[in-house]
Structure 1
Amino acid sequence: MGKYNELAKKIVKNVGGEENINSLTHCITRLRFKLKDESKANDDILKNMDGVVTVMKSGGQYQVVIGNHVPDVYADVIEVAHLSGESEETPSDGNIFNRLIDILSGCFQPFLGAMAAAGMVKGVNALFVFLKLYTNTSGNYTMLNGIGDAVFFFMPVILGYTAAKKFRLNPMVGLVIGAALCYPSIQGGALKAAYELTAGAGAAAPYNLFSLPAYDTFLGIPWVGASYTSSVIPVIFIIAFAAQIQKIAKKIVPSVVQTFLVPFIVFLIALPVGFLIIGPIISMLTEVLSTGFRSLMAFSPALYGVILGFFWQVLVIFGLHWSVIPLAIMQMQQDGASQVLVGSFCASFAQTAVVLAMYFKLKDKKLKALCPPAIISGIFGVTEPAIYGITLPKKKPFIFSMIGAAAGGFYLMANGVISYVMGGLGIFGVVNFIKDGDASGMMKSFVGIIIAAAIGFLLTFFFWKDDAKEESEMTVSSDSKISVNKEIVATPVQGTIAPLSTSKDAAFAQGALGKGVVIHPTKGEVVAPFDGTVMTLFPTKHAIGLISDQGLELLIHIGLDTVQLDGKYFESFVNQNDHVKKGQLLVRFDMEAIEKAGYSIETPIIVTNAADYLDILESQNKTISSGEELITALV
Structure 2
Amino acid sequence: MGKYEQDARRLLEYVGGKENIAAVSHCVSRMRFVLNDPAKADVAKIEALKSAKGTFTQAGQFQVIIGNTVSDFYNDFIAVSGIDGVSKDAVKSAAKQNQNALQKVMSVLAEIFAPLIPAIITGGLILGFRNCIDSIYFFNNGTQTLCDISQFWSGVDSFLWLIGEAIFHMLPVCICWSVTKKMGTTQSLGIVLGLTLVSGQLLNAYAVASTAAADIPKWDFGFFTINMIGYQAQVIPAMLAAFTLVYLERFFRKICPAVISMIVVPFCSLVLSVIIAHTVLGPIGWKIGTFISDIVYAGISGSFRVVFGAIFGFVYAPLVITGLHHMSNAIDMQLIADFGGTMLWPMIALSNIAQGSAVLGMIYLQRKNADAQEVNVSSCISCYLGVTEPAMFGVNLKFHFPFICGMIGSAIAAVVCVATSTTANAIGVGGIPGILSIQPAYMLSFALCMAIAIVVPFALTVIVGRKKGVA
TM-score, normalisation: structure 1: 0.61
Q: Give the match for residue 427 of structure 2.
A: 422
Deviations 1:496-525 (A, max 9, x none): xxxxxxxxxxxxxxxxxxxxxxxxxxxxxx
> What secondary structure, in the 3-state scheme, does the structure 2 residue paired with 1:57 have?
strand
| In structure 2, distance between residues paired with 1:6 and 1:214 | 70
Q: Give the match for residue 230 of structure 2.
A: 227
Q: Give the match for residue 204 of structure 1.
A: 214
> What secondary structure, in the 3-state scheme, does the structure 2 residue paired with 1:185 have?
coil
In the alignment, does 2:364 pair up with 1:360?
yes
> What secondary structure, in the 3-state scheme, does the structure 2 residue paired with 1:81 have?
coil
Shift of 1:113: 2.9
Q: Supply the AA of the counterpart residue of 1:239.
A: A
* C-alpha distance 367-263 of structure 1, shift in aligned 2 (>3 A): same
Q: Give the match for residue 106 of structure 2.
A: 101
In the alignment, does 2:400 pair up with 1:395?
yes
Shift of 1:360: 2.0
Q: Give the match for residue 327 of structure 1.
A: 331
* C-alpha distance 222-188 of structure 1, shift in aligned 2 (>3 A): farther
Q: Supply the AA of the counterpart residue of 1:121.
A: I
* C-alpha distance 47-458 of structure 1, shift in aligned 2 (>3 A): closer
| In structure 2, distance between residues paired with 1:469 and 1:5 | 31
Q: Give the match for residue 298 of structure 2.
A: 295
8 A Cα contact 2:313 2:407, kept in partner: yes
Which shows bigger deviation, 449-458 or 373-382? 373-382
8 A Cα contact 2:199 2:230, kept in partner: no
In the alignment, does 2:132 pair up with 1:120?
no
Shift of 1:84: 8.5
Q: Supply the AA of the counterpart residue of 1:318.
A: T
Shift of 1:413: 0.8
* C-alpha distance 202-355 of structure 1, shift in aligned 2 (>3 A): closer
Shift of 1:406: 0.7
- Once the two structures are aligned, what percentage of the paired residues are identical? 23
Q: Give the match for residue 381 of structure 1.
A: 386
| Structure 1 residue ranges without an equivalent (≥5) | 194-200, 206-212, 471-635
8 A Cα contact 1:57 1:63, kept in partner: yes
Shift of 1:462: 2.1
Aligned match for 1:165, one of 181, 204, 226: 181
Q: Supply the AA of the counterpart residue of 1:449.
A: M
Q: Which is richer in helix?
A: 2
Q: Give the match for residue 140 of structure 1.
A: 156
Shift of 1:379: 2.2
Decide which structure has the larger Cα Rg and report it.
1
* C-alpha distance 24-176 of structure 1, shift in aligned 2 (>3 A): farther
Q: Give the match for residue 592 of structure 1.
A: none
TM-score, normalisation: structure 2: 0.80
Q: Give the match for residue 475 of structure 1.
A: none
* C-alpha distance 257-19 of structure 1, shift in aligned 2 (>3 A): farther
Q: Supply the AA of the counterpart residue of 2:387.
A: V
Which shows bigger deviation, 284-293 or 440-449? 284-293
* C-alpha distance 84-464 of structure 1, shift in aligned 2 (>3 A): closer
Q: Give the match for residue 342 of structure 1.
A: 346
8 A Cα contact 2:180 2:187, kept in partner: yes
Q: Supply the AA of the counterpart residue of 2:214.
A: A
Deviations 1:237-256 (A, max 9, x none): 22222222122211222224
Shift of 1:5: 12
> What secondary structure, in the 3-state scheme, does the structure 1 residue paired with 2:214 have?
coil
* C-alpha distance 272-344 of structure 1, shift in aligned 2 (>3 A): same
* C-alpha distance 369-443 of structure 1, shift in aligned 2 (>3 A): same
8 A Cα contact 1:67 1:384, kept in partner: no
* C-alpha distance 51-173 of structure 1, shift in aligned 2 (>3 A): farther
| In structure 1, distance between residues paired with 2:76 and 2:116 | 20
Shift of 1:65: 4.5
In the alignment, does 2:56 pair up with 1:56?
yes
Q: Give the match for residue 459 of structure 1.
A: 460
* C-alpha distance 36-403 of structure 1, shift in aligned 2 (>3 A): closer
> What secondary structure, in the 3-state scheme, does the structure 2 residue paired with 1:423 have?
coil
Q: Supply the AA of the counterpart residue of 1:458.
A: A
> What secondary structure, in the 3-state scheme, does the structure 2 residue paired with 1:169 have?
coil
> What secondary structure, in the 3-state scheme, does the structure 2 residue paired with 1:324 have?
helix
| In structure 1, distance between residues paired with 2:220 and 2:94 | 37
Q: Give the match for residue 628 of structure 1.
A: none
Which shows bigger deviation, 55-64 or 178-187? 55-64
Computed over aligned residues only, the root mean square deviation of the Cα atoms, in angstroms, reads 4.2
8 A Cα contact 2:385 2:432, kept in partner: yes
Which shows bigger deviation, 311-320 or 458-467? 458-467
| In structure 2, distance between residues paired with 1:5 and 1:261 | 55
| Structure 2 residue ranges without an equivalent (≥5) | 140-144
Aligned residue pairs: how many?
Answer: 448
Deviations 1:95-121 (A, max 9, x none): 442232122111011232332233223
Q: Supply the AA of the counterpart residue of 1:378.
A: C
Deviations 1:410-449 (A, max 9, x none): 1111112122232222122112222xxxx34101111111
8 A Cα contact 1:342 1:412, kept in partner: yes
Asked which structure has the greater RCO (Cα within 8 Å, sep 6+), the reply is: 2
1:240-255 equivalence runs, <5 A: 240-255=243-258
